[in-house]
Amino acid sequence: MKLVKTLCASALVAAATLVAPTLSMAEEINLKYHAYTGKGPSNLATRWFMDEVEKRSDGKVKFTRIFGGALGKLSGQPENIKVGAFDMGEFSPVYNPGLFPLANVTSLPFMTENPMAHVQAGHDLFQTPAVEAEFTAMNQKYLFPGQWGSIQLLSHDPIRTIADLKSAKIRAHGGAAEILKELDITVYGIPWGELPAAAERRVVTAAIIGAPADAYAFGFGEIFSYWDDVDWFYFPMPVSMNLDTWNALPDDVKAVIEEVRDETVAQARNLLEEAEVEAVAALKEQTEIVKLDEAEQAKMQGVRDAAWQSWVEAREADGLAGQAVLDDFLKLLKEHGG
């Protein structure tokens, strides 16, 4: 964080005999924000948040906004925030499960069909002592959910049964990978940037990815022929700030940020859904919607429970409160209507 002093010389002399000057008297605060990608669905909420903080602080807080991943990839965001390479950014526990093993409960499969409940429950969970401690350990102040997008299946061939899933070569991560592993299905961990070419060459024949917004934006509707628009899981994308930066902020600025962050929770999902209107219409034109048969989807619920239990056991094996955190999250989901 860069503090640019704006006091004139006479005010500096006067200030020497008074208490420390307030923000309105003394300083402009510049906060550096880094996006791992260009302007798009993944940072809609953060751009809204920054605009509101600047406005409500009467321009005293300014964000330097760096888009396009110039300072690193998504997987590098937590470490870069930790060391202060930039003050604020999005990241995902899905890409950093070793750093955020408990926060990653939010990526488990088929937890709810209510994305708004999921994002609100995630916001609450990240402020519980056990999960907040993961942010603190990374020298971060958790702020609010970012994109929190739906993860859905697109494929070259129609997938209506679990047998169809087993015959496909599927790119997946997060909760989708967890449930596929329970089915003994090999998961292809192809990086996002390499996925379009891999899909076109049929290195993978299906992908469980951000959709509809990202799938449309990156041309997957023109690559795949079929689309299952059921949400397998929701991709957690918290936004956090370097903890040293946060601690150095004046109390009045913290108050503005706290006010805006709470409003951003619902706004994040609303902005994404507005952006998805065009994507949904386009994908319906580009692909045929095909889902798992009802009986097959019912079988997946049993596999889902096994995937949840495997997640708990892995956390408990590492000495972490996996069951307690899962129970907390399910309780929060229910409280929010999920």
338 CB contacts (<8 Å, ≥6 apart)?
Answer: 111, 112, 113, 114, 117, 118, 121
Are the C-beta atoms of 143 and 212 separated by less than 8 Å?
Answer: no
79 and 180 share one domain: no
Cα-based torsion angle of the residue sequence 80, 83, 88, 89 in order, rounded to the nearest 10 degrees: 20
124 and 261 share one domain: yes
Q: Is residue 91 part of a domain?
A: yes
CATH number at 297 reads 3.40.190.170
Q: Is residue 111 part of a domain?
A: no
Q: What angle do CA 117, 227, 112 make, to 5 degrees?
A: 20
With residues binned 3-state (H G I as helix, E B as strand, rest as coil), the percentages for the chain, rounded to 5, are 50, 15, 30
pLDDT at 41: 87
Q: Is residue 23 part of a domain?
A: yes
134 and 184 share one domain: no
Are the C-beta atoms of 187 and 197 separated by less than 8 Å?
Answer: no
Tell me the pLDDT tens digit for each residue of 195-249: 999 999 999 999 999 999 889 989 999 999 999 999 999 999 999 999 999 999 9
pLDDT at 275: 87
pLDDT at 220: 97
315 and 254 share one domain: no
The identity of residue 26, as a single letter, is A
pLDDT at 15 over 50: no
pLDDT at 311 over 50: yes
User: What range defines the domain where residue 27 resides?
Assistant: 2-104+120-145+236-265
* Residues of the chain above pLDDT 90, percent: 88
Measured N-to-C along each axis, helices 322-335 and 115-125 cross at an angle, to the nearest 10 degrees, of: 130
Tell me the pLDDT tens digit for each residue of 262-282: 999 999 999 999 989 999 999
Q: Is residue 128 part of a domain?
A: yes
pLDDT at 16: 30
178 and 36 share one domain: no
Mean pLDDT, rounded, of the chain:
91
pLDDT at 182 over 50: yes
